Amino acid sequence: DLKQLQFLHLSDNQLDFIPVPLPESLRSLHLQNNKIQTMHEDTFCDSQDQGQIRRGLEDIRLDGNPINLSLFPNAFFCLPRLPTGRFS
C-alpha cells in the first residue's frame, strides 16, 4: 500500500520479475540491469479497461534485462511512452 510512491528505482538488484501491483501514483520505474525475462500483460495497464491512461508513468527503464518487450504489445497501451528496453 504505497499509494503515494512516485519513484521506484531497483536497478542492479538481480530481480527476475517486475514488482506488482504498481501504484497509480508511480511516475518513474527503473528496473534496468536485472534478470527480468517475462511480464504479465496487466503489469502496467488493466487489460479489461481499454480506456485507461496512465499519464503519470512516463519513465520506465527495462534495458539490460533479457526480456524482449515486443513479445508483450498489449502491455503498454495505457502508457504515454514505451519503456526503454529491447524490442527485437
Counting Cβ atoms within 10 Å, is residue 67 exposed (0-12), middle (13-18) or buried (19+)?
buried
Task: Give the residue with greater pLDDT, 82 vs 2.
Answer: 82
Query: Each residue of 4-43: pLDDT tens digit?
Result: 999 999 999 999 999 999 999 999 999 999 999 999 999 9
Which pTM value belongs to this model?
0.92
Query: Each residue of 39-62: pLDDT tens digit?
Result: 999 999 998 998 899 999 999 999
Predicted local distance difference test score (pLDDT) of residue 88: 85
Q: How far is CA 15 from CA 24, 65, 69, 84, in A?
A: 21, 9, 16, 17
Per residue, the 3-state secondary structure of the chain, as one string, reads: CCCCCCEEECCCCCCCCCCCCCCCCCCEEECCCCCCCCCCCCCCCCCCCCCCCCCCCCEEECCCCCCCHHHCHHHCCCCCCCCECCCC
Q: Which residues contact 71 (CB under 8 A, 6 or more apart)?
A: none
